[in-house]
Amino acid sequence: MTTDPPVLLPREQFGSLLEALARRGYRVVGPTVRDGTIVYDDLTKVEDLPIGWKDEQEGGHYRLKRREDEALFGYVVGPESWKKYLHPQRLRLVKAERDTSGHMTFTDGDEEEPVRYAFLGMKSCELNAMMIQDKVFLGSGTADSHYERRRKNIFSIGVSCGEAGGTCFCVSMGTGPEVTDQTPHDLAVTEVIEDTSHYFVLTAGSDEGREVLNELPATPAGPEHVSAAKQRVEHAASTMGRRMDTGGVRELLRENLEHPQWEDVAQRCLTCANCTMVCPTCFCTTVEDVTDLTGDNAERWRSWDSCFTLDFTWMHGGSARQSAKSRYRQWLTHKLSTWHDQFQSSGCVGCGRCITWCPVGIDLTQEVAAIREKDNHPAPTTS
């Protein structure tokens, strides 16, 4: 596969990208500052982007800080992920009606007209997370019509990172920091700021991406621009705040279900479920049934759920996972081990959100390292 020649778009012209997308009928959404965090919301102009902001991230710590430059994408990732658009936090699945004779009719409750979103500013880890959720909802036999309907309209604009965050480890997970052809996207962008110049290097990853590029006042990028962009990405790769040794991690966790580290982390974990809410790949849901006052109109709603709650495994007689130990173990082994069995990939893209947003700063890279240190089954046999 040949890569399209990169083009150069000066900072002053970046607004033309938003305009081109709007002309094509896309609703452009992307990063913007709200209440001291970077969230994803509608973008109508370049100034809506988090210009000149960076996010300081550590275990249990997140703070926006001013940058020394006016970068548009100089932050890492916020607490939200794009899944909120594709896998809404709350969704009406079914509408049920009962007539006087008692007969029931069921109709699809998801009546929302799918929006044609352009996702502007998907970091490489986030493009990978979307690819992982595609496998969950669209792979293996049964497609989730709700996800499918929303997903098929998306125009994705990936942004390679020029700087890594304190809790990032995408290099360990093989998911970044550069947006490459390994991860489907429509456009890929790298932001470059040098002494006096501020520009973007763009490549198309799809036919529609190519069409959009043709509508921009862009010029072919010179080798100096391409190499400056490359340097930015290399800089990000070399400044990862975290790392994880993923060698054999699938077997490592599978064979260490009784490792003392699970007790150790259970002493710290509040089972608050924050990690699952911020994780861009977590997909679990619960349902709720409601009726109106007449009792003849019922609805079934689906909403995000978490394996950290006791209810999650509730059955007549009690929960299958009573202890915090078993719930943390379920989460981590699912992410890094059984996800491979289910979806042929890891369930973690190394975005670091779960570390940053954990109120007590539990860090999965440290938990894995601690388990590895006292691996109880150093030579695992895979059956």
Partner 1 sequence: MSSVLHPPDASALQAGSMLPEPWVVVSRLEENADTFTIELRPAEEGTLRPFAPGQFNMLYAFGTGESAISISGSPENSDTRVHTIRRVGTVTSALDRLAPGDTIGLRGPFGSAWPIEELPGRDLVFVAGGIGLAPLRPAILHALAHRKDYGRIVILAGARSPEDLIFHDELLEWKEEPDVEVKLTVDRAGIDWYHHVGVVTTLIPQADFDPANAVAMVCGPEIMMRFTAVELNKNGLPDSRLFVTLERNMKCAVGICGHCQFGPEFICRDGPVFRYDHIHHWFSQREV
Q: Which residues bind ligand SF4 (CB under 6 A)?
A: 269-275, 278-281, 308, 335, 348-354, 358-360, 362
Nearest to 40 by CA among 83, 103, 87: 83
Distances in Å between the alpha carbon of 160 and those of 61, 157, 271?
23, 10, 33
Among 104, 107, 182, 314, binds ligand FAD (CB under 6 A): 314
Residues in region 297-356 near partner 1 by CB under 8 A = 298, 302, 305, 307, 312-316, 320-323, 325-326, 330, 333-334, 337-338, 341-342
Which DSSP symbol is given to 359?
T
Residue 378 and residue 374: Cα distance in Å, rounded?
9
Residue type, 284: C
258 near partner 1 (CB under 8 A): yes
Q: How far is the CB of 293 from partner 1 (least distance, A)?
A: 11
Q: Which does 351 bind (CB under 5 to 8 A by kind): partner 1, ligand SF4, ligand FAD, none?
A: ligand SF4
Nearest partner of 84 among 53, 123, 129, 46, judged by Cα: 129
- Which of the ranges 115-123, 137-145, 206-214, 358-366 carries the binding residues for partner 1, by CB under 8 A? 137-145
Residue 315 engages ligand FAD in binding (rule: CB under 6 A)? yes
Q: Binding of ligand FAD at residue 303 (CB under 6 A)?
A: no
User: What pairing do the DSSP bridges indicate for beta strands 53-58 and 219-220?
Assistant: unpaired
| Residue from 12, 25, 245, 257 binding partner 1 (CB under 8 A) | 257
Q: How far is the CB of 273 from ligand SF4 (least distance, A)?
A: 5
298 to 98, 292, 295: CA distances (angstroms):
8, 6, 7
Q: Per-residue b/e over 170-180, b at no fewer than 16 CB within 10 Å?
A: bbbbebbbbbb
End-to-end CA distance of the chain: 37
> For ligand SF4, which is the closer residue by CB, 256 or 281?
281
Q: Minimum distance from CB of 186 to partner 1 (Å)?
A: 26
User: Cα 24 to the chain's mean position, in Å?
Assistant: 25
* Amino acid residing at 351: C
In whole angstroms, what is the distance from residue 35 CA to residue 47 CA?
17
Instruction: Quote the tokens at residue 137.
Output: 């909802």
Among partner 1, ligand SF4, ligand FAD, none, partner that 354 touches (CB below 5 to 8 angstroms by kind) = ligand SF4
Q: Is 89 in the site for partner 1 (CB under 8 A)?
A: no
Q: Which helix (H) or strand (E) holds 56?
A: strand 53-58
Q: Which does 307 bind (CB under 5 to 8 A by kind): ligand FAD, partner 1, ligand SF4, none?
A: partner 1
* 66 interacts with ligand FAD by CB under 6 A: no
Binding site for partner 1 (CB under 8 A): 93-94, 96, 98, 102-108, 136-137, 140-145, 254, 257-258, 283-287, 289-291, 295, 298, 302, 305, 307, 312-316, 320-323, 325-326, 330, 333-334, 337-338, 341-342, 383
